[in-house]
Structure 1
Amino acid sequence: MKLIRTGAEWNPLWLNHLRNNQQIGLVPTMGALHDGHLDLVAKSRSTCDVTLVSIFVNPTQFNNPEDFQKYPKTLDLDLEKLTQAGVDYVFLPSVEEMYPAPTQLKFYFGDLEHVLEGKFRPGHFNGVGIVVSKLFHLIRPHVSFFGQKDLQQVAIIKRLVADLSFDLKLEVIPTRREVDGLAMSSRNLRLSPQERLTALLLFSSLEKAKTELLNGKSWFEIQVEIRSGFENEPFAQLEYLELIHPDSFETYTVFDSIQKSSICVAAFIGAVRLIDNMPIIS
């Protein structure tokens, strides 16, 4: 496994793989890797000739400076995991490499900016769009792999690829969960033992909502029940629980069994903000 820190280091390697007609897979990450990330790596290795994982904690996508400062950093363990997983390259750029000058360009993703993550994390998607565009330009992959847990992020990256005509394919990999159902997330490392137990409320709420929707209960009643459940948990604060179309992110007030739909949830568990989602009709 080769470590690369600049685009200039990657250029001759990329050209060599291109000459050999080899497909390059990119797995963008911010480190603190877990088995969900390794699922993306495994998918890349099974479908591409070359796999490159980027590790960069991107400052421009954090609307909360404290969240940026406390984001887990486990580089030595990450590199050990990636070596064992058979990764070919790891891209470890500095902030100066990714942002040699302050970025003046702003991305605006239309209606996606006003719902769920767009509404509660202003500026977040602009930062995601900028860093993902930079990675696509620097690495020039044939395929890039993302996790379903960040469902709205996947939607904005799809829009980015379509609107800017990036010549690559996106692959979305299902959410990897712990045995008890908690969606794997780097932020889980920040949870205390008590908060870790409380965090199961996200998954149990999604399961409950899905079951009751499919059994005919109204979405309004389900929302009221789940909000009440969060209010009774001293370590939890619900931010949103919405029924949405998984492509457009239009929010529904009434469930329609013939429309594609997913439920998305975000909540603070202690000081840690977690998100999750569950498909209802695919």
Structure 2
Amino acid sequence: MKVLRNKKTFQDYIERQKEMGKKIGFAPTMGALHDGHLSLYKQARAENDMVISSIFVNPTQFNNAEDLKKYPRDTQRDISILEKSGLVDAVYLPEVEDIYPEKAVSQSYDFDGLENEMEGKSRHGHFDGVGTVVEEFFRQVKPDNAYFGEKDYQQLAIIRKLVEKKKLPIKIIGVPIYRAENGLALSSRNQRLEESRKIASTIIYESLVKVNDWFRVVSVPEIKERIEEIFDDQKGMQLEYFMIAEEESLKETDFFYKDKNYRAFIVVVVDGVRLIDNMHLD
């Protein structure tokens, strides 16, 4: 596996692959890698001639400078994980100036309102930061296929909209949420929880399963009330929000229409750690 640490070296490498006609699969990360990330590369490996990873903690998608400072960084560990997986041909480790040559500021985007729903309500400018860094990576990597996890479903929808609006020749592929055996969605954040709290947090997944059982049988207001009651009884857990939204627009609904697809979204703070999850409702 090649480790490429600057834009010039990386672009020379990509040009050689393109000249050989190789089909490129790509999944960007901010590091703190786990098996959920590897599930992206596993799918990419099956569908492309070569697979590219990147590790870059993007400053423009953090609303809080302290959060950026605290974000876990262990590049050597991440490189080791990628090497051992055998799934990745090259990892790109750009410096800030390789992505933002002048100043680390976001472009402004219109994602047709997707940016104003859910996470966008409390994280102003966050998705401008995501769009800026992903667009720049796409221009440097020139992938045929790009892979993103469904755990960050709003981000996935935003990136699909970005590609549509910018008319980029890239297929965006959503990869199902990678879960522990007990159902807990893997994330860099839940690694900060003690094992007993990880076990307790499986109530998040179990609640989504119940919502899927209630879907189209119980009214949306009643479902929300039941979820709130479940988390009222959980010590050390705070339900930040639960909602059911139409999958394409991400707009919250209070009624099920037969011709629409819906997804349940939940955010729970467990011992100060913010966990997000979602589930397609069928």
TM-score, normalised relative to structure 1: 0.94
1:153-168 equivalent positions in 2, closer than 5 A: 153-168=155-170
Q: How many residues align?
A: 280
Q: Any idea what SS the aligned residue of 1:150 has?
A: helix
Shift of 1:221: 1.0
Which aligned segments of 4 or more residues in structure 1 are displaced greater than 6 angstroms? none
Q: Any idea what SS the aligned residue of 2:227 has?
A: helix
- Alignment correspondent of 1:18: 18
Matched, 1:39 2:47: no
In the aligned structure 1, how far is the partner of 2:252 from the partner of 2:138? 30
Q: Residues 151 and 177 of structure 2 are in contact (CA less than 8 Å); yes or no, is this contact kept in structure 1?
A: yes
In the aligned structure 1, how far is the partner of 2:222 from the partner of 2:64? 33
Gapped runs of 5+ residues in structure 2? Answer: none
Shift of 1:198: 3.5
Measured against aligned partners, the alpha-carbon deviations of 1:29-67 in whole angstroms (never above 9, x if no partner) come to 111111111111111111111111001111111223333
In the aligned structure 2, how far is the partner of 1:184 from the partner of 1:257? 32
1:61 partner amino acid: Q
Q: Residues 265 and 276 of structure 1 are in contact (CA less than 8 Å); yes or no, is this contact kept in structure 2?
A: yes
Measured against aligned partners, the alpha-carbon deviations of 1:103-134 in whole angstroms (never above 9, x if no partner) come to 26322323212211111222111110011011
- The 1:31–1:224 alpha-carbon spacing in structure 2 relative to 1, beyond 3 Å, is same
- Alignment correspondent of 1:249: 250
Q: Work out which of the residue numbers 191, 199, 206 in structure 1 matches 2:193.
A: 191
1:56-205 equivalent positions in 2, closer than 5 A: 56-86=56-86, 87-102=88-103, 103=105, 105-205=107-207
Shift of 1:69: 2.7
- The 1:231–1:196 alpha-carbon spacing in structure 2 relative to 1, beyond 3 Å, is same
1:228-247 equivalent positions in 2, closer than 5 A: 228-247=229-248
Gapped runs of 5+ residues in structure 1? Answer: none
1:193 partner amino acid: E
Measured against aligned partners, the alpha-carbon deviations of 1:55-105 in whole angstroms (never above 9, x if no partner) come to 111111122333323322232222122112221100011223222322263
In the aligned structure 2, how far is the partner of 1:192 from the partner of 1:65? 26
Q: Any idea what SS the aligned residue of 2:113 has?
A: helix
Measured on the aligned residues, the alpha-carbon RMSD in Å equals 1.6
TM-score, normalised relative to structure 2: 0.94
In the aligned structure 1, how far is the partner of 2:163 from the partner of 2:252? 23
